[in-house]
Amino acid sequence: MTKLIVICGATATGKSGLALALAMRLDTVILSADSRQVYREFDIGTAKPTLDEQKLVPHYLIDICNPTEVMTVADYQAQAQALILGQRGVEDKGDKGDNIGSILTSPTLHTLHTPHSPVLLVGGTGLYIRSITQGMKIPRVAPQQELRSQLESIGQMQLYAILQQVDPVAAAKIHLNDSVRTLRALEVFYVTGRPISEQQGENPPSYPILQIGLDCDAAHLGDRITQRTEKMIADGLVAEVEYLCQKYGADLPLLNTLGYQEIKQYVAENISLDQAKELTILHTRQFAKRQRTWFRAYRQIEWFDVESPDLLEKVWQRVQSFITTFEDI
């Protein structure tokens, strides 16, 4: 039976490095749970596994979507669930003539790892992870830009009042000022004709799951974020942003995400490189704080201190115990 090990936590906590070491010991594969690593050409700023790392361990769910397309949580969930179960035919959302990251013709996972080895799901996108571990039921409605523009022109207060009329159950769970969730609920209603509250729920998977979280005190995490930002710039983040701006235009939505939006301001000569660096560190710290809050809400996660000198061995012992417990299942 399939077994799943999740490695999660805030950005810069060393998830990828730990997962790589575990995957090599387990002779298994890594599935990315990062909402930006799914996009091609966004490499340095997303801390995507290097080609050398990908040669050491097969990585999936990276480079499967073009930057001009949208990968929804429902899209991600369908692909990840199929891979975890070792199924073929998972669709690459990008150009079918481009095999970068494509898993359409890849062998099933069962041919890539030993039969009793668990699959590793690794990343910091909480909603991606939750969609798998809790089996979230997600309405398959892609963002409707024209509809959203029309709805946004009405104003949040009026939108919320409309939601209270068409889907009072959803409205009761959404804060009056939460424009993002209000808009999404109305979008689903107008596209499908059914309230989003009727289409949501959970159907947890039947296979065993071990969830490992990495964390450390805020000061140490801040230092790690600073070091990682410095490394990204040294690795060529500025050149990556220049290339992406030239190829796709500076208004590409992905270029307004963490790390890219700050460097884009430097490329446009609006701020200095030092200012871009400082803003990236500040915004990354704020993002990491939100991630920690999200993950801490889930009691299933077993936490490990990244400052521990024997972190790998402690996690390895827990993994072995998990495998042994379910080895006959």
Tokens at residue 174, please?
A: 């959404």
Q: Is position 276 annotated in a ligand binding site?
A: no
Tokens representing 294 are: 């999200």
Strand order in the sheet with 301-305: 59-60, 30-32, 119-122, 4-9, 209-215, 301-305
From CA 208, how far away is CA 4, in angstroms rounded?
6
Tally of CA atoms within 13 A in the half-sphere of 102 that contains its CB:
13
- Tell me: is residue 10 an annotated ligand-binding position: yes
Dihedral pair phi/psi, residue 258, rounded to 5° = -50, 130
> Is 13 labelled as part of a ligand binding site?
yes
**Sequential DSSP letters for 205-220:** -SS-EEEEEEE--HHH
Q: Annotation-wise, does 15 bind a ligand?
A: yes
Write 307-315 long-range contacts (CB < 8 A, 24+): 307/216, 307/217, 307/220, 311/14, 311/18, 312/18, 312/21, 312/22, 315/18, 315/22, 315/212
12 in a labelled binding site: yes
Residue 86 assigned ligand-binding role: no
C-alpha 205/C-alpha 135 separation (Å) is: 6
Q: Read off the DSSP letter of residue 197.
A: G
11 labelled as ligand-binding? yes
Binding site membership for ATP: which residues? 9-16
Binding site membership: which residues? 9-16
Binding site membership for substrate: which residues? 11-16
